[in-house]
């Protein structure tokens, strides 16, 4: 894929983004505000997922392993 085709593909993706979100009818200053809010929200969701999802997965794993007959950690320490 050469650079011209890649650039045209990115322009097509941007055009699709404008059409799907409906911001092609907005003025430039409204587009910038909309995009700023959208990317801020996406950034916060990604950050929150990165920070909190592993913690909740670990806690859920501990909870369900205890429900389904998993060994408690203190018993594991006694065995080793």
List average pLDDT for each run of 10 residues in the chain, which is 80 residues long.
86 94 93 95 95 90 78 56
Residue 50 vs residues 21, 54, 59, 63: alpha-carbon distances, Å:
26, 7, 15, 21
Q: What is the pLDDT of residue 44?
A: 96
Q: What is the pLDDT of residue 80?
A: 54
Q: What is the pLDDT of residue 66?
A: 76
**How far does CA 2 lie from the centroid of its chain?**
30
Cα(33)–Cα(22) distance, rounded to whole angstroms?
14
Q: What is the pLDDT of residue 70?
A: 62
Q: What is the pLDDT of residue 37?
A: 96
How many other CB atoms sit within 10 Å of the CB of residue 51?
Answer: 9
Q: What is the pLDDT of residue 61?
A: 87
């Amino acid at each position: 894929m050469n650079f011209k085709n890649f650039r045209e593909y990115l322009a097509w993706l941007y055009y699709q983004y404008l059409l799907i979100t409906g911001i092609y009818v907005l003025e430039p200053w409204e587009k910038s505000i909309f995009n700023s809010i959208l990317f801020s929200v996406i950034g916060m969701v990604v950050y929150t997922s990165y920070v909190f999802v592993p913690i909740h997965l670990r806690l859920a794993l501990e909870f369900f392993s205890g429900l389904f007959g998993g060994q408690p950690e203190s018993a594991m320490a006694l065995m080793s």
